[in-house]
Homo-oligomer: A and B are copies of this chain.
């Protein structure tokens, strides 16, 4: 597999690669930096299988003392992740919905609460759950392509972002921008996303991984322990809120998703997506 970018002048480091189906993970043990590349065509949908693999990969890295940071990006062109896989929410059993939603929660709890430094290298569009992945990292760099957009656009599909998507969003962009963007289900082109603070910086697409490595090095210059405790202090309230209401949140999701009106609007949306191909 291709190696992650290395600062010039450094010797090539031993590099361990995990074999996975939907996410390619490479750990550069010399720098302590792992790279996670989403490679689930056509659009890196967050299916149950994808989410499970994502959580397991995060857990493995979290428990690996050689790993201190993760860069998350996409191996596919033009798309970072299209968000939750709608087929998992359509015409399935209650048991399936429960399992799926628990996997969405699990992924977020692991990523938002990760003790590693997490940098999103957003090299394509990133709607809904894809946006949540980016928002949950410590730093977001996006390719400066105005055709790429990012946002929590759930409202456009007739569904509502759960409270912990909202909490994560508010922590990044503040209450006012979140209120407006969530109600309109806005997908913000990269330049606008930068202006709103949804992403931290834009760089030309070909410089994205290089920049991500540089940012990562800056964050890793800090002593891990103090940085981790600080991160926990900033994020604990929002993490605890989901932990405290996890079963209730699953129940809410199932009640909502099981409504015939919602099922109908999701089916309509899926048909639209199929026609687009």
Q: Is A218 an interface residue (CB 8 A)?
A: yes
In the assembled complex, the Cα of A154 lies from the Cα of B223 at a distance in Å of 11
The interface size bin for chain A is 35 or more
Contact B183–A219 (Cβ < 8 Å): yes
Cβ 8 A contact of A166, one of B180, B185, B197, B234? B234
Contacts of A197 in B (CB 8 A): 176
Interface residues of A in 129-173 (CB under 8 A from B): 138-139, 154-161, 163, 166, 170-173
The smallest beta-carbon distance between A75 and chain B, in angstroms, is 27
The smallest beta-carbon distance between A232 and chain B, in angstroms, is 9
Contact B230–A180 (Cβ < 8 Å): no
Contacts of A261 in B (CB 8 A): 225
Cβ 8 A contact of A233, one of B138, B166, B230? B166
The smallest beta-carbon distance between A143 and chain B, in angstroms, is 21
Contact B171–A173 (Cβ < 8 Å): no
Contact A222–B171 (Cβ < 8 Å): no
Closest to A175 in B: B171
Contacts of A166 in B (CB 8 A): 233-234
Contacts of A155 in B (CB 8 A): 222-223, 226-227, 230
Q: Is A46 an interface residue (CB 8 A)?
A: no
Contact A139–B234 (Cβ < 8 Å): no
Q: Is A231 an interface residue (CB 8 A)?
A: yes
Cβ 8 A contact of A176, one of B174, B180, B222, B233? B174
In the assembled complex, the Cα of A174 lies from the Cα of B178 at a distance in Å of 12
Q: Is A179 an interface residue (CB 8 A)?
A: yes
Closest to A139 in B: B180
Contact A226–B174 (Cβ < 8 Å): no
Contacts of A175 in B (CB 8 A): 170-172, 174, 234
In the assembled complex, the Cα of A192 lies from the Cα of B32 at a distance in Å of 30
Q: Is A184 an interface residue (CB 8 A)?
A: yes
In the assembled complex, the Cα of A233 lies from the Cα of B152 at a distance in Å of 14
Contacts of A225 in B (CB 8 A): 158, 261
In the assembled complex, the Cα of A139 lies from the Cα of B219 at a distance in Å of 31
Q: Is A23 an interface residue (CB 8 A)?
A: no
Interface residues of A in 238-277 (CB under 8 A from B): 261, 265
Contact A183–B223 (Cβ < 8 Å): no
In the assembled complex, the Cα of A155 lies from the Cα of B157 at a distance in Å of 42
Binding site for B on A (CB under 8 A): 138-139, 154-161, 163, 166, 170-176, 178-180, 182-185, 197, 200, 218-219, 222-223, 225-227, 229-231, 233-235, 261, 265
The 8 residue pairs across chains A and B that have the minimum distance between CB atoms: A158-B223, A155-B226, A179-B234, A160-B229, A171-B175, A158-B226, A182-B230, A183-B230
